[in-house]
Amino acid sequence: MGGGGEIVINTLALAALFGILGNGVSFLVFLSSMPMFWTIHKRKSSEGFTAIPYLVALFSASLLLYYGSLKTDALLIVTINAFGVAIELFYIMVFLFYATNKDRWFTIGILVVLNVVIFGAFVSLTWLFTEGEKRVKIVGWACASVNVAVFAAPLAVMRQVIRTRSVQFMPLGLSVSLTLCATTWFFYGLCVADYYIALPNVGGFLLGVAQLVLYWIYKDSKNDGEDDIEAKGGYIGDAHTAEMEMIGRSPRGGGGGGNAHNN
């Protein structure tokens, strides 16, 4: 009996460790777009940039925050995604402040449709027609579906690296950070026996390893077209890649009915 108790304690300790590490790495990746928005501020214009990755990131973080609120032991998930919602809103507000009228109204339109209408309808429907474990599972599947949908972002960047034989769009530090992010949340999911968290991050880990391999292959390659990275969108691409991959490597929702609030 004592041995079983020690195993439970050790598992909980590991879950806390990986959850805290995951929060730390996720926090840094969320902040990785700050330099881009500092550039927008200095230029007094967001022309040439797009807010779509941040609108999608806001939607994902909102879903995960909703998921965490349905659990009784998801403080770490609630914490990082509450920060995620706040930082994505900040990014979007900065973009809107410096955007042209056309870009501003286009962005507001997507914001309203995705993050007000669709998210609001999803919360309302799951709240009205489901409860307990069923509600948690539905929200968890929704989070996992968003995760799978945005895997196209890192794949597109990897294709660009192969095509240009240049790693200018895939900085090493970002690839390492995102791989660590996926790894920590994968082990967190295993420790709390929540495979809605663990399994989606397998894909994130594999993509991260693939990016590191590509970086090693092409790190010494020279490309005549990379003299002016920011002018050609490389700097913008780096920041957007951080946001889109962050969606795919955030803590994923789901879990057992024993963890759900019964409403």
**Comparison of pLDDT for 156 and 113, the residue scoring more:** 113
Phi, psi values for residue 71, rounded to 5°: -105, 155
Mean pLDDT across 187-203: 83
Structural tokens at position 134? 């069923």
**Comparison of pLDDT for 162 and 204, the residue scoring more:** 162
Q: Are 179 and 205 in contact (CB under 8 A)?
A: yes
Number of domains in the chain: 1
CA distance 233 to 158: 15
| CA 181 to mean position of chain CA atoms | 10
CB atoms within 10 A of CB 130: 15
195-218 vs 152-164: helix crossing angle, rounded to 10: 10
| Domain-embedded: residue 84 | yes
* pLDDT exceeds cutoff 80 at 247: no
| Domain-embedded: residue 78 | yes
- Rounded to the nearest 5 degrees, what angle is found at the Cα of 135, between the Cα atoms of 126 and 18? 125
| Domain-embedded: residue 154 | yes
| Domain-embedded: residue 262 | no
Half-sphere exposure of 110 (CA within 13 A, CB side): 17
pLDDT, residue 176, reads: 85
Q: What percent of the chain has pLDDT over 70?
A: 78
Integer-rounded Cα Rg, in Å, for the chain is 19
pLDDT bucket at 204, cuts 50 / 70 / 90: confident
CB atoms within 10 A of CB 126: 18
pLDDT, one tens digit per residue, over 40-59 is 999 999 887 888 889 988 99
Point out the least confidently predicted range of 43-57, 105-119, 124-138.
Answer: 43-57
Burial environment of residue 214 by CB neighbours within 10 A (0 to 12, 13 to 18, 19 or more): middle
* pLDDT exceeds cutoff 90 at 97: yes
pLDDT, residue 235, reads: 44
* pLDDT exceeds cutoff 50 at 63: yes
pLDDT bucket at 3, cuts 50 / 70 / 90: low
pLDDT, residue 105, reads: 96
Phi, psi values for residue 108, rounded to 5°: -60, -40
| Domain-embedded: residue 148 | yes
pLDDT bucket at 65, cuts 50 / 70 / 90: very high
Query: 122 Cβ partners below 8 Å, 6+ apart?
Result: 63, 142
Structural tokens at position 60? 């994902």
Q: Which domain holds residue 8?
A: 2-254
CA distance 204 to 70: 25
Mean pLDDT across 90-118: 96
Length of the chain: 263
Most confidently predicted of 122-136, 138-152, 174-188, 244-258? 122-136
Q: What percent of the chain has pLDDT over 90?
A: 37
| Domain-embedded: residue 263 | no
| Domain-embedded: residue 260 | no
pLDDT bucket at 5, cuts 50 / 70 / 90: low
* pLDDT exceeds cutoff 70 at 256: no
pLDDT, residue 102, reads: 93
Q: Are 154 and 241 in contact (CB under 8 A)?
A: yes
| Domain-embedded: residue 206 | yes
pTM for this model (two decimals)? 0.80
Structural tokens at position 24? 């730390």
pLDDT, residue 95, reads: 95
pLDDT, residue 151, reads: 66
Point out the least confidently predicted range of 19-33, 132-146, 167-181, 205-219.
Answer: 167-181
| CA 253 to mean position of chain CA atoms | 12
Mean pLDDT, the chain, integer: 81
